[in-house]
């Protein structure tokens, strides 16, 4: 639902990427922006629109890592709660991950996921293979992820401390069972 992710990509606004198994991972600034946009408190934003999970990641050097994340909740049809008539109802405040879709990290690193994206996204299908962007065209995601990890370390891995909110008990998800890809 991003109108134009690059000068070679034009979103058809079909809404397909806001429905399905992918998850939108939220950064603290994403949550603050959504709350401001909706005119509600951070606590209410978190309570109504997010899910709290701990992602278990296998790291070859450090063993297991456990990282807290908030993701956007979905409805019973597996669609983002903010999707209305195929469009994003929080367009000016939509999360960074949504703004870059379909050129999320996995687009560049995971051939199987890239094919899934091409199958589901008509705008991507319409692009000639040679016109697809390169990872260096989208440097934002790795930088944001690094900044997020630094922020977590500074705050003892506590999202409650970072956001100043109370969170429910998290759902533990391993990287193999959680579809961390987003088609957004
Ligand atoms: S699936 Fe592709 S064309 Fe459809 S809204 Fe998402 S990015 Fe746009
Ligand atoms: S926030 Fe908007 S762009 Fe992102 S998944 Fe939800 S409806 Fe789609």
Query: How many C-beta atoms lie closer than 10 Å to residue 4's C-beta?
Result: 10
Name the closest-CA residue to atom 1, ligand 2: 94
pLDDT score of 104? 85
pLDDT score of 179? 47
Is-cis flag, bond preceding 54, omega within 30?
no
pLDDT score of 176? 66
Regarding the beta carbon of 98 and ligand 1, being less than 6 Å apart is answered no
pLDDT band at 177 (very low <50, low <70, confident <90, very high): low
Q: Which has more confidence, 98 or 175? A: 98
Looking only at Cα atoms, what is the longest distance across the chain? 47
For residue 120, what are the contacts with CB-CB under 8 A and spacing of at least 6? 16, 17, 20, 183
Chain mean pLDDT for the chain? 89
Distance CA 165, CA 41 (A): 10
Name the closest-CA residue to atom 8, ligand 2: 18
CA of 126 to the centre of ligand 1 (A): 11
Share above pLDDT 70 across residues of the chain, in percent, rounded to a whole number: 91
For 93, the enclosing helix (H) or strand (E) is none
Q: Tell me: pLDDT of 2 over 60.
A: no
Q: Tell me: pLDDT of 116 over 90.
A: no
Distance CA 103, CA 6 (A): 10
């Amino acid at each position: 639902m991003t109108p134009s992710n690059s000068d070679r990509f034009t979103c058809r606004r079909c809404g397909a990427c806001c429905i399905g198994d992918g998850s939108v991972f939220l950064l603290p600034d994403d949550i603050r922006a959504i709350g401001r946009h909706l005119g509600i408190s951070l606590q209410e934003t978190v309570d109504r629109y997010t899910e709290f999970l701990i992602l278990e990641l296998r790291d070859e050097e450090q063993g297991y890592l456990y990282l807290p994340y908030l993701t956007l909740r979905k409805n019973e049809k597996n669609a983002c709660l903010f999707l209305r008539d195929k469009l994003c109802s929080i367009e000016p405040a939509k999360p960074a991950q949504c703004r870059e879709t379909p050129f999320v990290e996995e687009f560049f690193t995971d051939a199987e996921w890239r094919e899934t994206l091409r199958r589901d996204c008509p705008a991507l299908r319409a692009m000639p293979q040679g016109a697809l962007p390169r990872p260096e065209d989208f440097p934002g995601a790795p930088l944001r992820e690094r900044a997020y990890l630094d922020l977590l370390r500074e705050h003892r891995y506590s999202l409650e401390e970072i956001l100043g909110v109370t969170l429910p008990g998290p759902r533990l998800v391993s990287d193999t069972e959680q579809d961390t890809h987003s088609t957004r």
